[in-house]
Amino acid sequence: PEQPGALRIERLEVTYGRAVRALRGVGLTVAAGSVVALLGANGAGKSTLLRALSGTLRLHHGAITGGTARYDGRALNGTDPVAALRAGIVQVPEGRRVFAGMTVAENLRAGSLGRRDRGTAGIRAARERVHGLFPMLAERSGQRAGLLSGGEQQMLAIGRALMGAPRLLLLDEPSLGLAPMMVERIAGVVREINAQGTSVLLVEQNAAMALELADHAYVLDIGEVRLHGPAAELARTDEVSRLYLGDS
Ligand code: ATP
């Protein structure tokens, strides 16, 4: 029997164009309520995996060409972002990509557009949750997003994703390019979001941060899972500490 709210990926293959096999039979599970970290070198396939789950592969001329991804018992086809949102999955894209010319409030509103319950109490509740996590976004509601700092834009990108009321949040390198203090704040926010009941799949170059946050972790290598296990155990393996934690 399927565990409610679990993400279960089996033998997943993703191909770009005709020939680039970016995922070559990946298996991965995110238990309901958990934080899972996805590590690996550039080009390993981490972003590809997130795109398959958020239904955004077609934007990159990619498709699922084998295997299955199921969330809460529902099959995901890799190319339908609205279906993914309605299944409860929302991605924060790499590089933040907030709408720079729009205000903070407009960016947040954009995050709720795919919801069935537009204009209702559910959306007000989501906005209150976002303002609770990031009081700065309430204070700067009317300001253009392009004027925010990098860390603030990352907060807005996360806030916008939360407006879709995800049960599983996909984060693509939230710490990229941020100062250490801001990385700490983002880590704290991820912890809080998870404590509020949202599962998290976290792609990170900052392996130390990711392994500290995660219950479980996977290392991808050229489209395949090379290692996986409880995050604390993985952090102790020679391979992970040498390659990803900078220990010698
Ligand atoms: P990064 O940290 O650099 O984003 P990643 O682990 O997220 O790395 P992906 O971006 O998923 O890796 O890329 C996996 C493989 O798929 C790489 O070989 C990459 O060159 C290739 N790839 C990614 N996007 C496309 C695309 N739109 N068309 C063709 N190949 C692509």
Prediction ipTM score: 0.95
CA of 176 to the centre of ligand 1 (A): 17
- Ligand 1 atom at minimal distance to the Cα of residue 173: 2
Nearest to 243 by CA among 75, 42, 87: 42
Q: Coil, strand, or helix at residue 20?
A: strand
Nearest to 23 by CA among 225, 175, 243, 229: 225
CA of 46 to the centre of ligand 1 (A): 8
CA angle, 224 as apex, 222 and 229 as ends, to 5°? 125
CA of 45 to the centre of ligand 1 (A): 6
The predicted pLDDT at position 9 comes to 98
Q: Residue 24 to residues 41, 65, 111: CA-CA distances in angstroms?
A: 16, 10, 32
Residue 134's pLDDT band, with cuts at 50, 70 and 90, is very high
Residue 247's pLDDT band, with cuts at 50, 70 and 90, is low
Residues whose beta carbon lies within 6 Å of some atom of ligand 1: 16-17, 20, 22, 40, 42-48, 60-61
pLDDT at 248 over 70: no
Q: What is the helix (H) or strand (E) element at residue 125, kind and residue range?
A: helix 121-133
Q: Coil, strand, or helix at residue 101?
A: coil
Amino acid of residue 85: L
Q: Please report where in the chains the tokens 């290598």 appear, as a residue.
A: 221
What is the number of H-type helices and E-type strands within the chain? 10, 10
- Ligand 1 atom at minimal distance to the Cα of residue 61: 27
Residue 240's pLDDT band, with cuts at 50, 70 and 90, is confident
Pairing of the two strands 224-230 and 62-71 = unpaired
